[in-house]
Structure 1
Amino acid sequence: MMVHFLLRRAAFGLLTLWLISLAVFILFYVATPGDPALMFAGEYATADQVALVRARLGLDQPLHVQYLTYLGGLLRFDFGMSFVNQEEVLSAILRRLPATASLAFGSILIWLLVAIPAGVFSARRAGTAADRLVTTAALAGMSFPTFVVGTLLFYVLFFMLTNAGYPIFPSGGYKPISRDALEWLRHMILPWMTLAVVGTGTYTRIARGSLLETLNQDYVRSARAKGISEGCVMYHHALPPSLTPVVTLIGLDLGGLLGGTIITERIWGINGVGSLAVQAVENGDLPMIMGTVLFAAVFIVVANLCVDIVQALRDPRVRLG
């Protein structure tokens, strides 16, 4: 049963990626007004350069041949060549990936470590002043845009502390963990907090709502009626099934973050995948734009596949569904 479930989910993921590749091809090769070769070559390219790009990309071939060539390149992990710096698109993305991965995994870890205990604390005290305080704080965190949180953190924890003679945090940038783990941590704390403020608020409300719903289930009432301790009821019977929507949301958020945390990377000067995508748009580098879009799609599909596997292992009903 588990093998069949995994095969179905993998097939669905491959179908999704194929549809995305088709949509990207149509968007940039077919639906875009004007000559695609001229767009790839640049506004100031000569006629010979445009002809060379057209032949190089196979734009002089029938449309179905162009797509099959494009799809074949993707299957060989060939995302094309940047026309701005003549670098392979995949190499450029992989070079920027460690920064984005550090930002994504660190921020998710922080908001899970804060949000789940906060949600449990709030649900156990539903209707009390403590519950209202937690839910208000969560709502406030959700209400702040990321760029506002990042700007406030930059001003308070970098600018003001540095002017006061306490340069604890750097102004931005990224230091690889392989070179200096302590400097990597110093450079990542504020970007992590920028994302964690919004994420913590969202996950706290989801964890609280799901746990409250689970606590009203009949099997939880039966466990309490049997005299089982409240701690055992909460953490053994109620909490594990209530985390199902949280785990599902992690897959969506992780895929999106790995695809590129554009705003946070720009605020803190982190040269990640998100910054690469913005630069590609600014430079009109269509191969790089297409590559980052497809790369983000792959991460989202893979992250959701991993979530489906985890959910299936946690709950057999998922496999049957």
Structure 2
Amino acid sequence: MLNYTLRRLLALIPVLFIVSIIVFMIIHLTPGNPAFLILGEDSSPEAVAQLEQQLGLDKPKVVQYFDWLRKIIVGDLGESIYSEEPVSQIIAERIGPTFSLMIVSMFLTLIIAIPTAIFIVWKRNTVLDPLFLSGSLLGTSIPEFWLALLLVLGLGVTIPIFPVAGYAPITDGLLGWLHHLLLPGIVLAAVEIGLIARMLRDSMLDSMNQDYTKTARGKGVKESTVLVKHVFSNALIPTTTVIGLTVAGLLGGTVIIETIFTIPGIGQLLIDSIHRRDYPVIQGVVLFIAIVYVIINLIVDLLYAFLDPRIRYD
């Protein structure tokens, strides 16, 4: 297991290197000049050229990339063009709201998706099964921004149950923290519940006719016990893969949701930085998201050995 983990960690290096190249090219090949945006429309070409030189934007793109890469290797993501603060510090200040939103949405997803899937498998020969399939398809098809605006209008404006904007840190109180995150958490969870529940339901149905399930029934084990102890446990591996991808994908989903609900997290930071053409912050945030994504995938792979003792990485 240790050797496998080390090999996977080393394999992350070329992946992140390719990601850094793609991120840098996409950002620097898009129209827009940070120096011009900072100085304003009335700035002279001489002033813009002087600021570009100070920011290092007058250098060839290849030189700019390797300067940035050299800093990344030593753990320096650079400094923001606007605030002149270290990018790593800016990201660290925004991690809390984003991870809080991810925790709330993932908690809501799992407590709804898992019991629903088990119940549907139990009632698999009833009218509930096709209704569930239709509902799960509808849930995964709803655009997040549309659902967010609908819930803001319904539960934030028409019936003011939840705040429609802002964030309260957990240090100010658990209830206030949860009150601000519950509505955006519902939006993120609504899209993922159908996917995870559908995957778990399909995996459990595949396990229903396996030999170990038939043996358990032959021994007189109750159907509810068969579902939970035998079928559910063996259906966790493919479902865990989807859950891992969902957790990693939530970082991308927070970009839209944090903007709509004005949550000062990584997503809103990315949007604000794109508007300002703050290249170092954009590059740092996207690279941070990529690192989190590949680490979560590694953790999911390692979990397989704990979920199924037959799996070995030696």
1:19 paired residue number: 18
What SS does the corresponding residue of 1:87 show, helix, strand or coil?
coil
1:226 paired residue number: 219
Structure 2 CA distance for aligned equivalents of residues 100 and 201 of structure 1: 22
Q: Which range moves more in the overlay, 44-53 or 175-184?
A: 44-53
Structure 1 CA distance for aligned equivalents of residues 144 and 304 of structure 2: 30
Superposed displacement of residue 138, structure 1: 2.1
TM-score by structure 1 length? 0.86
Change (3 A) 1:199 1:80: same
The answer on 1:79 being equivalent to 2:77 is yes
TM-score by structure 2 length? 0.88
What SS does the corresponding residue of 1:184 show, helix, strand or coil?
helix
Could you list the runs of 5+ residues in structure 2 that have no partner in the other structure? none
Could you list the runs of 5+ residues in structure 1 that have no partner in the other structure? 163-167
Structure 1 CA distance for aligned equivalents of residues 274 and 145 of structure 2: 20
1:118 paired residue number: 116
1:142 to 116, 131, 140: 140
Superposed displacement of residue 230, structure 1: 2.0
Structure 2 CA distance for aligned equivalents of residues 121 and 54 of structure 1: 64
Structure 1 CA distance for aligned equivalents of residues 224 and 140 of structure 2: 29
Deviation sequence 1:251-284 (CA, Å, 0-9, x none): 2222232356112112211111111111111112
1:104 paired residue number: 102
The answer on 1:314 being equivalent to 2:307 is yes
Change (3 A) 1:275 1:56: closer
Superposed counterparts of 1:21-36, under 5 Å = 21-28=20-27, 32=29
What SS does the corresponding residue of 1:170 show, helix, strand or coil?
coil
2:93 paired residue number: 95
What SS does the corresponding residue of 1:178 show, helix, strand or coil?
helix
Deviation sequence 1:21-48 (CA, Å, 0-9, x none): 233344445xx278xxx93533557546
What SS does the corresponding residue of 1:175 show, helix, strand or coil?
coil
Structure 2 CA distance for aligned equivalents of residues 188 and 58 of structure 1: 39
Deviation sequence 1:202-238 (CA, Å, 0-9, x none): 1111111111111122222232223333233222211
RMSD value, Cα: 2.5
Amino acid at match of 1:233: V
Q: Which range moves more in the overlay, 263-272 or 76-85?
A: 76-85
CA contact (8 A) 1:256 1:296 kept: no
Superposed displacement of residue 306, structure 1: 1.3
Structure 1 CA distance for aligned equivalents of residues 240 and 30 of structure 2: 42
Identity %: 36
CA contact (8 A) 2:77 2:88 kept: yes
Structure 2 CA distance for aligned equivalents of residues 124 and 13 of structure 1: 41
1:270 paired residue number: 263
CA contact (8 A) 1:100 1:260 kept: no
Q: State how many pairs are aligned.
A: 309
1:183 paired residue number: 176
CA contact (8 A) 1:81 1:287 kept: yes
2:189 paired residue number: 196
Superposed counterparts of 1:168-179, under 5 Å = 168-179=161-172
1:9 paired residue number: 8
Deviation sequence 1:81-113 (CA, Å, 0-9, x none): 121222222222211111111111110111111
